[in-house]
Amino acid sequence: MPVSPLSSSPLGSADNQEPARARGARLLLLVLCDKWRAPVLLALEEGTLRYGDLSRKTPGISRTMLTRALRDLERAGMVRREVFAQVPAKVEYSLMPWGQTLAGQVRAMDVWAQAHESDLRETAERLQQSRSRKNESKEDD
């Protein structure tokens, strides 16, 4: 299994005090907690793609954010970047085996989230309003 950039993190250590039940989910969220990593993973689930194809399959992503997401996923051992020695340069991106297994889980989460989208939006709005009220009360103190 590839070495994750999180392995040097206290969250990656097996001897921390975090409950075992939550540890895996928290690590997964740390890897995915970025607006663009999951959509890039899902685009690559369809197969090997070049940068421009990835950009078209991920509407709304800027070049900077696509590059950052690809680099993060490559560093995490989920995405393979293959450079071909030709002119003009050709670069292809594909999922590594670990990325393929994660993409399947992200797809399942996406299907669930789409089925519950209105409830999720309401919940997210309530959480945001609650945080805003807490921040306002702290400023009043």
Residue indicated by tokens 């995915």: 32
Q: What is the mean pLDDT of the chain?
A: 85
Residue-wise pLDDT tens digits, 55-96: 999 999 999 999 999 999 999 999 999 999 999 889 999 999
User: Where are the chain's structural domains?
Assistant: 35-140
Positive or negative, the Cα torsion across 95, 98, 100, 59?
Answer: negative
CATH 3.30.540.10 fits 35-140, yes or no: no
**CA distance to 26, 28, 37, 116, 132, per residue, from 120 (Å):** 19, 19, 20, 6, 18
Q: What is the pTM of this model?
A: 0.73
Percent pLDDT > 70 in the chain is 83
Segment holding 41, helix H or strand E: helix 37-45
